[in-house]
Chain A
Amino acid sequence: MPEQLVFAMEVTLNGLMTGVMYSLVALGFVLIFKASGIFNYAQGVMALFAAMTLVGIQDGRVPFAHIINEVLGTDIHYFGWEVPALLAILLTVLVMIGFALFVQKFIFRHLVGQEPIILFMATIGLAYFLEGVSDLMWGSEIRNLDVGLPQGINDTIDQVTFEIFGYGFFIDNLDLWATGIAAVLVAGLIAYAQYTKNGRAMRAVADDHQAALSVGISLNYVWILVWSLAGIVALVAGIMWGSKSGVQFSLSLIALKALPVLMLGGFTSIPGAIVGGLIIGVGEALFEFSIGPLIGGATENWFAYVLALVFLVFRPQGLFGEKIIERV
């Protein structure tokens, strides 16, 4: 087999893995948009906040330590204990549910019935607010995240592909885990939406929130539910991305990679977020591999948007999005 073809296969596989990581971020957007029509600009910052909270709990850090010390004249930064990863994750989930309650009670409950652009702008404000709270709560330093996920080359794949192609493929163990976790997450979300009472309520609100209200479904409750789920998805995305780079501000920027995924997959489809992520991941990887060296490289950021725009021309609602027809 030609060497370049083998390399392209390796690039494609890695692109798929990267695509899964993008999908993890995009999922959070889809959940909220589907149920409430809100494009949540704060989703990336939620991933940062969730990951910072997780590390903070794990390390036994005192939240808002700087403020507390400044006001009380103390010098306390740690509680003096460490929390096991699994328990820390569960506690972080509780924090994200608390965040969902806060968001609903203090922001979106007051904005029911407002134009989508108003809701969108509220999420922009929320993003900056959360960014600041995250800094105040846990500081701006880079935190090491270790929840026990393995990293580095997968030796089995390396050996097997070497025997077949004469060249061992690189696949990161962390990416394999991310793929597995994403699969479980998506399956869980779909099952939850299909087979539970709450899930059916979510779908009812997504289809027509006025009709859902008329049959006694609490809009308030459903919105808290989807913001909680989006918070949990943000936590998963934060763990996966944070394991690669440490937990730091740039985690919030991964939301930018979710936008082309959403444009491509549609804003209202969970499978769309997955497929969109995979297409973007593979597309940008192959473009960088084949064309990148000819034009100076670093094409990933802009090419993802070009790819999404091309899809938009032919299918404005995205691959799996619902076609909205408004009659005058």
Chain B
Amino acid sequence: MKTLATLAVATVMAAGPALADLVFPDLSYRTGPYAAGGIPFSDGYQDYMTLLNQRDGGIGGVEVRVVECETAYNTERGVECYESTKGEGALVYQPLSTGITYQLIPRATADGIPLHTMGYGRTSASNGTVFSHVFNYPANYWDAASVIINQLLEENGGSLEGKTITLLYHNSAYGREPIRTLETLSEMHGFELSQLAVDHPGQEQGNQWLTIRRERPDYVIMWGWGVMNQVAIQEAANIRFPMENFIGNWWAGAEHDVEPAGMDANGYRALNMNVLGDLPVFDEIQEHVIDAGLAAGDGTNLGSVLYTRGMYAAMLAAEAARTAQEIHGVADIDASMMRDGMEALVMTNARMEELGMPGIGPEFTVTCEDHGGSGMARMQQWNAEAGEWVTLTDFIAPDDSVTDPLVAEDSAAFAAENNIELRCNES
């Protein structure tokens, strides 16, 4: 009997997760209508983690283990993925979906596991005094809206008075995020804002583009994802809307968004929260991961916009884990320590260069109060002939005087609804 019990315990131990792993779940979507965006992001995320294992032996000497779970960009499945993987010792979740993020915020906070919603999710989560376990550095949607308007101000001699801007948005929690900021900016700068919603998945936009053709706005800003982006760019070309006045956010600026429209997409602009181009780290991924047959995909996405962003997300997670190891003096960190590491993360140009990603994103420092990073983004433009994105600007700062009060107001409302005691009191 004793032998049986010993065997049972040994079996359970063997079946359980290895204690020395640093577990990074990857809630990916390689199937469904949004797979074209989900695949390169996930490939980039996983390949960077594999690089750390192959080249450095993990983070701080501890191997990284990526647990992939397919969400198909479906909120219910995303929550199921979270519930089924959190017991593996998950350090941080990156749902890559605003809908899933909204569902995970209360759960992850209760479980003590941090969320990193990089450039998506609940914007006001950048207020660390309310959202202890949610981080959306280096930028959020309201920053993106403000950056676009700042760029348009720059191009229009500092005034958008009398201009008309249409927001074409995915009719979802994600697509509706920038409305409030743009309404505030519209009052502040005197431009007229109109809004056009596009239902999931976005295959049909004929009516929306007829409206745009009738109203002839000066600019169209797009908050799209998936097929909505490709259809919108084609429809814009069909009605001969000037492409340089059609601007997407950073989830509407990948190669696959513009390529189906061919030469018609030339001149379309979009934001990007990270740089493009040949980064030294790509050579290392090629050597240690792709050539070694360890890539998450077939290696063809290396260097694309969303691959680079997924890799950037992985790098930020790894750097936060490293920071946590330093803070707590242990290599085998848990989710609570990871959260501390994320809250103390400092990204400098020197460090990014050291990692083989010079200037991949803006410099920023995360604090107890500020989980949102610098909020800066670049503007890029599609060159259809060359088949590549061209970076037009340096990192552009958002207007914090607009976004900060909105963040404060929204997060205060969330805190009141959920009886959250504010953190970060220095005493």
Contacts and interface: CB of A to CB of B under 8 A. Distances in A.
Contacts of A289: 207, 210
Nearest to B203: A250
Interface in B200-224: 200-204, 206-208, 210, 213-214
B214 A153 contact: no
B33 interface: yes
A53 interface: no
B227 A245 contact: yes
A142 B198 contact: no
A296 B199 CA distance: 11
A241 B204 CA distance: 10
Interface string A209-250: 000000000000000000000000000000001001110111
Interface in A59-87: 66, 69
Contact of A288 (B207, B213, B256): B207
B158 to A, nearest CB: 32
B206 A298 contact: no
A144 B33 contact: no
Contacts of B171: 297-298
A250 B201 contact: yes
Interface in A277-326: 285, 288-289, 292, 296-298, 300-301
A48 to B, nearest CB: 11
Interface string B230-245: 1100100111100000
Given A241-B203, A245-B260, A135 B31 contact: yes
A170 interface: yes
Interface of B: 30-33, 35-36, 39, 171, 195-204, 206-208, 210, 213-214, 226-227, 230-231, 234, 237-240, 256, 259-260, 262, 264, 298
Interface stretch (A7-15, A29-37, A187-195, A263-271): A7-15
Given A246-B260, A249-B31, A296-B197, A142 B36 contact: yes
A269 B414 CA distance: 54
B37 to A, nearest CB: 10
Interface of A: 7, 10-11, 14, 17-18, 66, 69, 131, 135, 140-142, 144-146, 151-153, 170, 172, 241, 244-246, 248-251, 253-254, 257, 285, 288-289, 292, 296-298, 300-301
Given A245-B231, A289-B207, A250 B298 contact: no
A7 B214 contact: yes
A10 B32 CA distance: 34
A47 to B, nearest CB: 12
A140 B203 contact: no
**A285, A288, A289, A298: most-surrounded residue (chain B CB, <10 A):** A298
Given A140-B39, A142-B230, A144-B262, A18 B31 contact: no
A151 B33 contact: no
Q: Is the interface of A mostly helix, strand, loop or mixed?
A: helix
Contacts of A135: 31
A318 B220 CA distance: 41
Nearest to A242: B260
A300 B227 contact: no
Nearest to B209: A170
B239 A249 contact: no
Contact of B227 (A11, A250, A296, A297): A250
A251 B226 CA distance: 12
A142 B204 CA distance: 17
A162 to B, nearest CB: 13
B210 A10 contact: yes
Contact of A142 (B201, B203, B238, B259): B259
A284 B206 CA distance: 11
B237 A152 contact: yes
A297 B197 contact: yes
Given A170-B213, A296-B197, A245 B36 contact: no
Contacts of A246: 227, 230, 256, 259-260
A18 B206 contact: yes
A285 B239 CA distance: 17
B262 A172 contact: no
6 contacts: A14-B206, A14-B210, A153-B238, A170-B210, A241-B203, A245-B227
B33 A250 contact: yes
A301 B171 CA distance: 12
Nearest to B40: A141
Contact of B30 (A140, A241, A250): A140
B71 to A, nearest CB: 14
A140 B36 contact: yes
A18 B205 CA distance: 10
Nearest to A249: B33
B196 A297 contact: yes
Contacts of A301: 199-200
Contacts of B30: 140
A142 B306 CA distance: 14
A176 to B, nearest CB: 12
Contacts of A241: 203
B260 A144 contact: yes
A41 B151 CA distance: 47
Nearest to A289: B207
Nearest to A18: B206
Given A144-B259, A170-B213, A298-B197, A11 B234 contact: no
Nearest to A145: B260
Given A145-B260, A248-B36, A297-B197, 16 more contacts: A7-B214, A14-B206, A18-B206, A140-B30, A141-B39, A170-B210, A245-B230, A248-B230, A249-B33, A250-B33, A250-B201, A250-B227, A253-B33, A253-B203, A298-B197, A300-B204
B227 to A, nearest CB: 4
Contacts of A151: 234, 237-238, 264
A142 B210 CA distance: 26
A277 to B, nearest CB: 13
Contacts of B264: 151-152
A294 to B, nearest CB: 13
A158 B298 CA distance: 46
Nearest to A257: B204
